[in-house]
Structure 1
Amino acid sequence: MRAKNRLTAGFLKSPPAGKHCDGGGLWLVVREDGGAQWVLRVTVHGRRREMGLGGYPALGLAEARKQASRWRDMAAAGRDPVKERQAEERAARREDISLAIITADAFEARKAELKGDGTAGRWLSPLALHVLPKLGKVPVTDLDQRDIRDTLAPLWHTKAETARKALNRLAIVIRHAAALGLDVDLQATEKAKALLGRSRHVPQSIPAMAWADVPAFYASLEEPSPTHLALRLSILNPGVRSKPLRHIRLDQIEDDVWTVPGEDMKGRKGKTPPFRVPLSTEALRIIELAKPHARNGFLFPNRNKGVINDMTLSRFMERRRLEARPHGFRTSMRTWLSEMTDAPHEVAEMMIAHVSDSAVVRAYRRTDFLEQRRVLAQRWADYVTGGAARVVKLESEG
């Protein structure tokens, strides 16, 4: 080994610019402006590593040698001193590796994969509502299956889907922490799932109105208010879910086609094409009735700002003492299509904008069946507004 302790206190009183070796890989690097830095060079597994120890004279010669000795011993034991120091710094700043901080970092890393960059908050909400209030301050390196089990146990048998989403998101956050180099238990969520056992929760479908009852309910929506008109348009076009319905804009409608942006359609990720909705004569009439309410281009604005609330239509039906909810009109129409028309399966599924079949099948199917759907949309509207419940036949397109 090269000689150590070459530098002297006298030399360090006014060291010239340049690199000065103390031995054993310890160097004092003096800049032209007079500033100086202690640097240690070591070799770990055949790879040279260089790490700054601190500035001189704030870090004196004796302390620099002491630190250098410690890190050299670590390198000799086959451990990377640079990574070890980073780990120690993270441990000293435990709040920086709390679950809340790592969750926020993981969310930022995934935003591009989420619909609308995750602005709706649905990716984060299971964690923000049910996990972070209890575990947010816990260092992610300390998180174990018992912590997770105790946190999700109150939901596991009552709100199973919410608990499942929270567990899934938590697994992603833990993997993100591992990618950052943190010493986490990658199996913690699976172990927690094993501890929680099988959920007793029985999922229930959203209540739907029988298709035979839809015309009477539709007729009861007599007021030209945004709520009544939005609910009518929802019944006529149940394939369009709450968000795009509430955010419908006049510039999305051309002739008898309403073009919904692809990012607003559920189950469609990335750069997906927009979804075309054929509008029946009745749907166009409802849109004309809604135009006097339009503000900032939106057909169904809120009284203050933005658009009508997500729960507005559901609460309206609840006040009517109805079990069914707006989302259930998808089931109403789909059942009517099955029982009262000869619509092919793929056309009927497209009517309610249901993503069906495999990705390969969808890739080869280069049509959205607009013309067939236009016929069915008009027949549904005729039925809803009082038409006869007769079987609808679709003509072949060739």
Structure 2
Amino acid sequence: MARPLHKFSAAEIRNAHPGKHSDGGGLWLYKQDADHAKWVFRFTVHGRRREMGLGAYPSVTLAQARDKAKAGRALIEAGKDPIKDRERKRREEARQMHLLQDVALDAFESRKAELKGDGMAGRWFSPLEIHVLPKLGKVPVSELDQRDIRDTLAPIWHSKADTARKAMNRLSICMRHAAALGLEVDLQATDKARALLGKQRHKAQSIPALPWQEVPAFYQSLDEGSPTHLALRLLILTAVRSKAVRFLHLDQIEGDVWTVPAENMKGRRDATSDFRVPLSSEALTVIEQAKPFARDGSLFPGARKGVISDMTMSNLMKRRGMEARPHGFRSSFRDWVAEATSTPHDVAETALGHTVGGKVERAYRRTDFLDQRRHLSQSWSAYVSSREETNEAKV
């Protein structure tokens, strides 16, 4: 015999005394007093007696509670547990509600091992942090579409093209990461946003460099013996990036070889890929002249703390009315190598710390051409200091 349903009217429920009241079909009202009551669905599934809360009364009305109980009975008839089914739905909803800012941080954490210095410099995450997350960070990734992305990056798409491109690429990685987490996302959203934004007008400009023929005159003008002058001299002589010079520590030098830690070398992600720099006699002289300024082992300390800033060297050149900047001396050196020497391409590129050849080729070729680069460095130093030993580097 079927159990009777809908035993009570709304008025009877409202006026019911404290206790447990069955409406039929497993729906019960547990009433503590006039102000506190809750709906409960009692059922048996897979041989287990269970109770599932359906909400507080009167926030959940009698009609709503009956609808919930009816849905529960339908699940039982289908062989499902209503409690487990509700938990599953909640998990799915939680997955759908993952915010972009959470996914972006998780994606960043999972990729730290691939990044130089475990991404501590912030260059991977900063395009997202500055240009994307302030607007879209609290949006569930499942709701992100190409229009959201277009509207967010449109203000910088042409004016800061390189930054916008990086932000778009990072966002694409985040979307793929979300999909790997099992979230429902539109993996084509970034590609469609690019189509909406159109081709970027901005063209990247190279950092101005001093023609190699003019480097000796500038080098010799750095004659004050100050930390700034000496740092610039060493930067020119070694053709490394300014960070390597600024963070030079005396324990990195052994004999005539300076080993630059991987974290100070752009693009060297492997923790073991430190970079050996051969030091010419002129470079060793500069280092000796700088030692009296050293503090806590740092050869070029800042005025108060830390190390000399990148802007210190740039500002010196700016005050002299020069368009060229410190980083440009790498180009000056490379042009001199190409035009004034017969140095093999791989040796010249390795001298700049560039990766040469594909992954397989590098796996078999372990040399960093240190001996050849030592001769090249000596010839370049002789040239810029006007004590040229030969007209062509012997490598």
- 1:226-305 to 2 correspondences below 5 Å: 226-238=227-239, 240-305=240-305
Secondary structure, counterpart of 2:367 in structure 1: coil
- Note if contact 2:26-2:69 (Cα within 8 Å) is conserved in structure 1: no
Q: Which residue number corresponds to residue 212 of structure 1?
A: 213
- Cα 1:206–1:252 shift into 2, 3 Å: same
Q: Which residue number corresponds to residue 193 of structure 2?
A: 192
Paired with 1:5 and 1:85, the residues of 2 have a C-alpha distance of 25
- Note if contact 1:174-1:184 (Cα within 8 Å) is conserved in structure 2: yes
- Note if contact 2:347-2:373 (Cα within 8 Å) is conserved in structure 1: yes
- Cα 1:146–1:282 shift into 2, 3 Å: same
Paired with 1:71 and 1:355, the residues of 2 have a C-alpha distance of 66
- Cα 1:137–1:349 shift into 2, 3 Å: same
- 1:249-398 to 2 correspondences below 5 Å: 249-388=249-388, 391-394=391-394
Q: Which residue number corresponds to residue 166 of structure 1?
A: 167
Paired with 1:262 and 1:280, the residues of 2 have a C-alpha distance of 22
Q: Which residue number corresponds to residue 93 of structure 2?
A: 88
Secondary structure, counterpart of 1:268 in structure 2: coil
Question: 1:231: Cα distance to partner?
Answer: 1.0
Question: 1:254: Cα distance to partner?
Answer: 0.4
- Note if contact 2:256-2:280 (Cα within 8 Å) is conserved in structure 1: yes
Structure 1 counterpart of 2:293, one-letter code? H
Q: Which residue number corresponds to residue 117 of structure 2?
A: 116
- Cα 1:22–1:332 shift into 2, 3 Å: same
- Cα 1:74–1:287 shift into 2, 3 Å: farther
199-208 or 129-138, larger mean C-alpha shift: 129-138
Secondary structure, counterpart of 2:310 in structure 1: coil
- Cα 1:296–1:76 shift into 2, 3 Å: farther
Paired with 1:166 and 1:145, the residues of 2 have a C-alpha distance of 14
- Cα 1:72–1:319 shift into 2, 3 Å: farther
- 1:100-115 to 2 correspondences below 5 Å: 100-115=101-116
- Cα 1:255–1:335 shift into 2, 3 Å: same
Question: Does residue 136 of structure 1 match 2:147?
Answer: no
Fraction of identical pairs, as percent: 58
Question: 1:172: Cα distance to partner?
Answer: 1.0
Structure 1 residues 147-180: Cα deviation after superposition (integer angstroms, max 9, x where no partner):
1112212222222211111000001111222222
Question: Does residue 180 of structure 1 match 2:181?
Answer: yes
Structure 2 counterpart of 1:157, one-letter code? H
- Note if contact 1:74-1:81 (Cα within 8 Å) is conserved in structure 2: no
Q: Which residue number corresponds to residue 57 of structure 2?
A: none
Q: Give the structure-2-normalised TM-score.
A: 0.79
Equivalent residue in structure 2 for 1:73, among 58, 65, 75:
75
Question: 1:67: Cα distance to partner?
Answer: 7.0
Question: Max radius of gyration: which structure?
Answer: 2
- 1:54-65 to 2 correspondences below 5 Å: none
- Cα 1:146–1:81 shift into 2, 3 Å: same
Structure 2 counterpart of 1:119, one-letter code? M
What's the C-alpha RMSD, in Å, of the aligned pairs? 3.3
Secondary structure, counterpart of 1:175 in structure 2: helix
Question: 1:7: Cα distance to partner?
Answer: 12
Paired with 2:127 and 2:76, the residues of 1 have a C-alpha distance of 43
Structure 1 counterpart of 2:44, one-letter code? G
- Cα 1:143–1:74 shift into 2, 3 Å: farther
Paired with 1:321 and 1:74, the residues of 2 have a C-alpha distance of 83
- Note if contact 1:75-1:81 (Cα within 8 Å) is conserved in structure 2: no
Question: 1:245: Cα distance to partner?
Answer: 1.8
Question: 1:223: Cα distance to partner?
Answer: 2.1
Structure 1 counterpart of 2:253, one-letter code? I
Paired with 1:300 and 1:264, the residues of 2 have a C-alpha distance of 15
Q: Which residue number corresponds to residue 222 of structure 1?
A: 223
- 1:18-33 to 2 correspondences below 5 Å: 22-25=43-46, 27=48
Paired with 1:122 and 1:147, the residues of 2 have a C-alpha distance of 23
142-151 or 330-339, larger mean C-alpha shift: 142-151
Q: Which residue number corresponds to residue 47 of structure 1?
A: none
- Note if contact 1:340-1:392 (Cα within 8 Å) is conserved in structure 2: yes
Structure 1 residues 278-303: Cα deviation after superposition (integer angstroms, max 9, x where no partner):
00111111111111221222111122
Paired with 1:210 and 1:308, the residues of 2 have a C-alpha distance of 26
Structure 2 counterpart of 1:284, one-letter code? L
- Note if contact 1:317-1:324 (Cα within 8 Å) is conserved in structure 2: yes
Structure 2 counterpart of 1:175, one-letter code? R
Question: 1:265: Cα distance to partner?
Answer: 2.0
Paired with 1:157 and 1:294, the residues of 2 have a C-alpha distance of 44
Secondary structure, counterpart of 1:259 in structure 2: strand
Structure 1 counterpart of 2:150, one-letter code? R
Question: 1:384: Cα distance to partner?
Answer: 0.6
Structure 1 residues 185-235: Cα deviation after superposition (integer angstroms, max 9, x where no partner):
111101001111111112221111100111111111122222211111110
Paired with 2:325 and 2:79, the residues of 1 have a C-alpha distance of 66
Structure 1 counterpart of 2:45, one-letter code? G
Count how many residue pairs are aligned between Structure 1 and Structure 2.
Answer: 350
Secondary structure, counterpart of 2:201 in structure 1: coil
Paired with 2:379 and 2:192, the residues of 1 have a C-alpha distance of 53
Paired with 1:280 and 1:183, the residues of 2 have a C-alpha distance of 58
- Cα 1:390–1:375 shift into 2, 3 Å: closer
Structure 2 counterpart of 1:300, one-letter code? F
